[in-house]
Chains A and B, each alone.
Chain A
Amino acid sequence: MRELICITCPMGCHLAVDTDERGEMKVTGNRCVRGEQYAREEIFNPKRVVTFTCAAVLPDGSVPGPESNLPRRVPVRTTIAFPKERIPELLGALRGMTIRLPAVRGSVVLKKALDTEVDVIVARSIASE
């Protein structure tokens, strides 16, 4: 048996997920049908939107110095929810990346990241000076 808390609405139902005699998934503790859908998704195909930052570099390749008004990190995000078990792998890929300023919100950092249908995009436009 697995215990989950449904986060579809603020009620936060405590769900118990089990299999019945015929091997079918059985959810209890939910107050509405959305609880069962949440449990099914969370058990078979858990996904999360991943938000992270990459290092910013100036057009000449240098890093914004302490006297600069520019941020040293550029926020990035997955366009849609990403398979949960592969998040560490995705973060590993993003950790080594730099983004050259000016950064443009919505521009693609990683196309079809790790061969999924999910892109990683820039979440903030930042000028280069």
Chain B
Amino acid sequence: MKQLTFDAVVIGGGAAGMAAALELDARGHSVLILEREDTLGGILMQCIHNGFGLIEFNEELTGPEFAQRFEEEVGSRHIQASLRTTVLDIREEGGLKAVYCVSPAQGMMRVESRAIILAMGCRERNRGNIRIPGTRPAGIYTAGLAQRLVNIEGYIPGRDVVIIGSGDIGLIMARRMSWSGCKVHAVIEILPYPSGLTRNIVQCLNDFGIPLHLSHLVTDIYGEDRVEGIEVTPIESGALMHEKAFKIACDTVLLSVGLVPENELSRNAGIEIQPTTNGPWVDSALMTTMPGVFACGNVLHVHDLVDYVVEEARRAGANAAAWLSGYRPAREIRAKTGSNIRYVMPMRINPERENRLYMRSLVVKNDARLEVRLDGNVVKSRKLAHVQPSEMLSLTLIPEDLAAAGRDSTVEIALV
């Protein structure tokens, strides 16, 4: 078995992995990126629509353009990347980290390091996750799989399409399929409001006259060999209105019903997973419960903008470099969720450093206020014109904000 040694190993060569690797390299540490696909870039390579990079590059790029800017930077710094490489296991051996992986070119490999960055991204929820009744014919795809088929493999998955769920990938695919000459008959959303961004509702549905059925549930899928149609039932006051159910004929169903961080490797390694995010528990340095193992990007929590992924990944890379150089936080205080906040990331705050926090709202609200309370006292607050669960919130806490913090202090983030 081939043996390799690096200061740090990055698992996953998407936006997060590349940004973290660049940061480690810039601080003088040797780093290896392990990537399962044929190219670096991750999911961005199939996201051919534009809208990426407004924060990072101050322009609107397509996914491949955004990814290749990072890929070129990785190449110009001679950072090593092992492509077509699948990681099988992460272990602690002899006080070091060992990553076991396999590739067609190298066979089994064992890569030893002192730090690991988890950047494996997320996976789509599928039909089994949302338990749609009915037959099991061909023609049912997750939206991201259909996106890969259309944009990279060059196949059109069907002609008459219904999309279940109003997540952004489903909306983007509604436009993509329409532009490919397919008919998108409807988008069905169980919630009373869309899960995707407003600009995608406008430009991917309204532009094509595609109806969005809010508060509706798909209650049956018909068809033997191929999908022939679905049954849709309205929800009123929380109850299914069976007498108002209707059918839509289609040969293809796309599912856009949420994303889940991909943490099979983390779980197998014994890393603690947070139920609110489905990502690893992390401290103020984005370090997991396995010392020296850091997490960033969609494997940590699902982001809506790659710009935020890159920002977070740079911090993970810089923190891993600091950890390799022996830095340990003197103390950390707890961060917790207050009213209307689903989660705060990370869950620990270092009162002696700048802390960048990400939050998600539980509610749709105009004229809201984000409050930071240190042991009950408001130390920072910000007015927000509009909040909704699909748009991530962020704020920065500096040491002065936390000057009054004691040993057992708690920071609470609330939306009022």
Q: Which residues of chain A have a CB within 8 Å of any CB of chain B?
A: 4-5, 7, 9-12, 31, 48-53, 55-56, 69, 71-73, 75, 77, 84, 87, 91, 105, 123-125
Contacts and interface: CB of A to CB of B under 8 A. Distances in A.
Contacts of A77: 48, 50, 62, 65
Nearest to A52: B179
Given A7-B202, A69-B84, 4 more contacts: A10-B388, A49-B50, A51-B49, A72-B152
A114 B84 CA distance: 41
A75 B197 CA distance: 23
B80 interface: no
B381 to A, nearest CB: 19
Contact of B62 (A4, A7, A51): A51
Contacts, number: 77
Contacts of A73: 150-154
A49 B60 contact: yes
Across the A-B interface, give the 6 residue pairs with the lowest CB-CB distance, nearest first. Answer: A124-B64, A72-B154, A12-B198, A75-B48, A7-B199, A69-B38
Nearest to B51: A49
A51 B48 contact: yes
A105 B391 contact: no
Contacts of A75: 48, 62, 64, 151
Interface in B381-415: 385-386, 388, 391
A56 B153 CA distance: 10
B68 interface: yes
Interface string B35-66: 00010000001001110000000001010110
Contacts of B60: 49
A76 to B, nearest CB: 8
A89 to B, nearest CB: 12
Contacts of A124: 45, 62, 64-65, 68
Contacts of A5: 198, 201-202, 206
B174 to A, nearest CB: 14
Interface string B171-200: 000000001000000000000000001110
A87 B208 CA distance: 12
A124 B69 CA distance: 10
Interface residues of B, number: 30
B106 interface: no
Contact of A10 (B48, B50, B154, B197): B197
B388 to A, nearest CB: 7
18 contacts: A4-B202, A5-B201, A5-B202, A7-B198, A7-B202, A7-B203, A10-B386, A11-B366, A51-B49, A52-B179, A53-B150, A73-B152, A73-B154, A75-B62, A77-B48, A77-B65, A87-B179, A105-B64
Contacts of B201: 5
A123 B65 contact: yes
Interface of B: 38, 45, 48-50, 60, 62, 64-65, 68, 84, 150-154, 179, 197-199, 201-203, 206-207, 366, 385-386, 388, 391
B1 to A, nearest CB: 25
Nearest to B179: A91
Which among A51, A55, A73 has the highest number of chain B CB atoms within 10 Å? A51
Contacts of B197: 10
Contacts of B45: 124
Contacts of B49: 51
Contacts of A56: 154
Which among B38, B64, B386 has the highest number of chain A CB atoms within 10 Å? B64
A101 to B, nearest CB: 13
Contacts of A105: 64-65, 68
Contact of A125 (B68, B152, B203): B68
A48 B179 CA distance: 13
B151 to A, nearest CB: 6
Contacts of B386: 9-12
Contacts of B151: 53, 73, 75
Contacts of A7: 198-199, 202-203
Contacts of B65: 77, 105, 123-124
A48 B203 contact: yes
A73 B62 CA distance: 15
A80 B152 CA distance: 23
A72 B150 CA distance: 10
Contact of A123 (B64, B206, B391): B64
A73 B45 CA distance: 11
Contacts of B38: 69
A43 to B, nearest CB: 14
A49 B61 CA distance: 10
Contacts of B48: 51-53, 75, 77, 123
Given A51-B62, A69-B38, A91-B179, A10 B198 contact: yes
Contacts of A50: 179
A49 to B, nearest CB: 5
Nearest to B203: A48
Contact of A71 (B62, B152, B366, B385): B152
